[in-house]
Structure 1
């Protein structure tokens, strides 16, 4: 009787008409011709048609499997009824003091040096040439050595430090971001001067948006948003594509923006979970992404279909990925307390002979790094320790108690033989040598 009617067992259906053969909702039975819940009636499915996009040999006009549907709408503008309903909800929230569209908090930039430019008109971004090390060269040190002791501590953050990055190529400046919503720029080992403070920029985080800042002035140049939470951002390293960047979003997409126009120019939509990392490989012709869906995908630049998909039943999510200095390997921090090594060229296979163990990182996106000469692999862990492995043997060589809480990132300076920088959730950044 799930459908509201049933055959009358006391009536001989061969001699009675159909209306007397049912009990219950007789009208409904006649309407459905007596079909039960286990029987499927005839259904019509109109297949959605896609926009025709030329032949496969026409590269410029061929849309292929990613063509849009004919009835697909690009815009997301609500109808008049929907807009009226949204206005009513917004008005109610404003009365209760719970307006979601809050005004952005005030942004500030504080310069901690006397002048932004020296007597020759050079800003603090200028790469120094009198520190005993050539910071402009791409050459790597001949031999790197294990750091043994702490030689400096940077303070200033009031909450845990979530990430640190070195200035590209030269590494003469260190950028740190913290859970206190501040971004700081500091001097690094090669330019470390105790009486010279860093230039500090900080701003309150805006929900569901990306902000781009000028490193020389600290001012916000522009903002970008698709109303989703961004988890990672990478600019295209090629000189002729410096205006393009990609961001991994909470809605499983990788979105490509043009910084000059502020418009979305491409979307890579194949992941089944939030995108955690984006890493450019193969001379920037491709990039690799990892996600909460426990997969690794490889993309050709500007083509929204992944050409390589790696996912095994035994794989865990990999929320931190680093490209090796020689560009041949990807070190992936796996949530099963291992560092996995994938090839960064051609087949992108897992190197089963290079698996680094011995640390506990489950639940934390601890950043991995290599020594410039590829002798060592370094990583923090959940216990606040700095772990150093030998690249060739995968043996855990050295372990240092670096922080009181999680050691979330470890960086080896690109021009120094034994200097490593760590940061942790205790709010400190430390230099080891």
Structure 2
């Protein structure tokens, strides 16, 4: 009993009777007396409800006071439902221990069906109020509602479902007469709406005035549609003819290359450096073409609605500008001699120009945008040309009469390219319908139709110099090759990849002796592949915008002209 603390009497009465003292002495006579001078009670006050300090917690959990109403952090599940620190309450029959039944912890059962929950959620999201979920009531009253009270009053407590549903009083009223015996006045379910407005009809005088106005409007509209832009031309060189009376169309002979040669160079090389830049267009260049056979001139069509012709040798000047389209020019093409060329633009006109004088010799329109134009390559058919249009047709025009002589209407999308093959007896067309069709000349039914689920649209095609292969720029970033002589067989192994052209009609061209294949791409790069192995030999940045066209000079070993949407034409060697 030495360890038991001795407590003084808390009685304030010190005058106890001697009898009481004697009785206490007899009662505790067997105990040893305690030295009151060393008693702990003199220095430590008694605390009947001491604070229980938890022992060192090794679990890493933070203690959560069950009495607090707000938590300033996201407690873990184990912290939120940890047992309270301290002894268990003997008077509480069951300690609450939630079992985890969801990823986030414990979810209590809620006795509310999905429709009611979604209805209240949408109401709160749309209007800012909903029924208090802790109240067992589905009737919205102001004291049982959470959120925006003003919106609650304004919408009369309607939920999102009730506001979306037309009530009987919201429906338009109809005139009703359901009495079948009333033969004259019976309406049935076909009665007019009560609030229906009747359309006022003009009287005879007003009608005549309106007809006159509409007739004038139709007349002026027709004139505007048929009127084409006025054609102009500008000569940029001092003299149109030299001292011998020769124009700029005359093939120069003092340039170190035989431009009249009928044979290609023996060996071609990859171009590496920029030797000239032709700048004169104010917008992107859409197409460039060499002058036929000699290629001593370069014709360019631009989105600034202008066509320009440039010198390739000597001073490399801009010779002449042809202005006659109201909108961007899409395609251009020379006849066999180069004395005339065709142009087509987004103003829905095809125009025939005299290359030397700049005179516009003919205007042709089908009221649809022509995407490509091409003269028939045969000498005896130079008065005919074909145009692929946006309304899925290929139209053949006669220059002499200005009339259409044939229509090839089998495509299911806009026609993008036309290429003559098989000694000009046939031509190939490609379209937005992701197909390739081969036509006999003057037969308006395609005799071969090539379409495959894996094929993409091929907006640009080029025939090889030997006439055996057709290279097609495909929209899935590759160049496909078809064998023209072997029933247009698709050469699956001869595919050129590496460039990015999806969405752009970038042109393709062969080197004159067919060693290389070149193409521009959407990033402004020029790509050069080996024709036999399909290996990518070279690529370099040619333009700041899309490199839309690349053409190899037919008489030079390594000279290539490229055109870009940055408005310049570049010459590489």
**How far 1:353 sits from its partner (Å)?**
1.6
- 1:236 and 1:112, CA in 2 relative to 1: closer, same or farther beyond 3 A? same
TM-score, with structure 1 as normaliser: 0.77
Matched, 1:276 2:416: yes
Q: Which one has a bigger Cα radius of gyration?
A: 2
Q: Select the residue among 246, 252, 262 that pairs with 1:128.
A: 252
Give the aligned partner of residue 75 of structure 1.
none
**How far 1:346 sits from its partner (Å)?**
4.0
User: For residues 130-145 of structure 1, what are the structure 2 equivalents within 5 Å?
Assistant: 130-145=254-269
Any conservation in 2 of the 1:281–1:345 contact (CA below 8 Å)? no
**How far 1:169 sits from its partner (Å)?**
1.0
Q: Structure 1 CA distance, aligned partners of 2:260 and 2:424?
A: 21
Give the aligned partner of residue 296 of structure 1.
436
Q: CA RMSD, aligned part only?
A: 2.3
Give the aligned partner of residue 311 of structure 2.
187
Q: Structure 1 CA distance, aligned partners of 2:464 and 2:326?
A: 31
Give the aligned partner of residue 508 of structure 2.
368
Q: Deviations over 1:76-97 (max 9, x none)?
A: xxxxxxxxx99965634789x9
Matched, 1:173 2:310: no
Matched, 1:387 2:527: yes
Q: Structure 2 CA distance, aligned partners of 1:266 and 1:86?
A: 39
The structure with higher relative contact order (CA 8 Å, sep 6+) is 1
- 1:212 and 1:87, CA in 2 relative to 1: closer, same or farther beyond 3 A? farther
Q: Structure 2 CA distance, aligned partners of 1:245 and 1:290?
A: 17
User: For residues 124-273 of structure 1, what are the structure 2 equivalents within 5 Å?
Assistant: 124-188=248-312, 191-193=313-315, 196-205=317-326, 207-273=347-413
**Aligned partner of residue 289 in structure 1, secondary structure:** strand
- 1:93 and 1:397, CA in 2 relative to 1: closer, same or farther beyond 3 A? same
Q: Structure 1 CA distance, aligned partners of 2:242 and 2:444?
A: 46
Q: Deviations over 1:2-51 (max 9, x none)?
A: xxxxxxxxxxxxxxxxxxxxxxx9xxxxxxxxxxxxxxxxxxxxxxxxxx
- 1:236 and 1:90, CA in 2 relative to 1: closer, same or farther beyond 3 A? farther
Q: Deviations over 1:107-139 (max 9, x none)?
A: 221001112111222111111122111111210
Q: Deviations over 1:247-292 (max 9, x none)?
A: 1111111111111111111111111111100000111010000001
> Which structure carries more helix by proportion?
2
**How far 1:102 sits from its partner (Å)?**
7.2
**Aligned partner of residue 321 in structure 2, secondary structure:** strand
**Aligned partner of residue 369 in structure 1, secondary structure:** strand
TM-score, with structure 2 as normaliser: 0.58
Give the aligned partner of residue 351 of structure 1.
491
**Aligned partner of residue 302 in structure 1, secondary structure:** coil
**How far 1:205 sits from its partner (Å)?**
3.1
Q: Structure 2 CA distance, aligned partners of 1:86 and 1:270?
A: 41
Give the aligned partner of residue 551 of structure 2.
411
Give the aligned partner of residue 142 of structure 2.
none
Any conservation in 2 of the 1:371–1:377 contact (CA below 8 Å)? yes
Any conservation in 2 of the 1:144–1:375 contact (CA below 8 Å)? yes
Any conservation in 1 of the 2:231–2:322 contact (CA below 8 Å)? no
- 1:87 and 1:301, CA in 2 relative to 1: closer, same or farther beyond 3 A? farther
Q: Select the residue among 321, 329, 339 that pairs with 2:461.
A: 321
Any conservation in 1 of the 2:255–2:314 contact (CA below 8 Å)? no
Q: Structure 2 CA distance, aligned partners of 1:89 and 1:258?
A: 36
> Which structure carries more strand by proportion?
1
Q: Which sections of structure 1, spanning at least 5 residues, go unmatched?
A: 1-24, 26-84
- 1:94 and 1:377, CA in 2 relative to 1: closer, same or farther beyond 3 A? same
User: For residues 9-20 of structure 1, what are the structure 2 equivalents within 5 Å?
Assistant: none
Q: Which sections of structure 2, spanning at least 5 residues, go unmatched?
A: 1-187, 189-209, 328-346
Q: Structure 2 CA distance, aligned partners of 1:106 and 1:278?
A: 28
- 1:356 and 1:90, CA in 2 relative to 1: closer, same or farther beyond 3 A? farther
Q: Structure 2 CA distance, aligned partners of 1:89 and 1:287?
A: 46
- 1:266 and 1:120, CA in 2 relative to 1: closer, same or farther beyond 3 A? same
Matched, 1:91 2:91: no
Any conservation in 2 of the 1:111–1:201 contact (CA below 8 Å)? no
**How far 1:228 sits from its partner (Å)?**
1.5
Any conservation in 2 of the 1:412–1:420 contact (CA below 8 Å)? yes
Give the aligned partner of residue 21 of structure 1.
none
Q: Structure 1 CA distance, aligned partners of 2:507 and 2:367?
A: 27
Any conservation in 2 of the 1:211–1:224 contact (CA below 8 Å)? yes
- 1:293 and 1:130, CA in 2 relative to 1: closer, same or farther beyond 3 A? same
Any conservation in 1 of the 2:286–2:564 contact (CA below 8 Å)? yes
Give the aligned partner of residue 33 of structure 1.
none
**Aligned partner of residue 417 in structure 2, secondary structure:** strand
Q: Structure 1 CA distance, aligned partners of 2:500 and 2:571?
A: 22
**How far 1:186 sits from its partner (Å)?**
0.3
Q: Structure 1 CA distance, aligned partners of 2:389 and 2:558?
A: 36
Give the aligned partner of residue 470 of structure 2.
330
**Aligned partner of residue 168 in structure 1, secondary structure:** coil
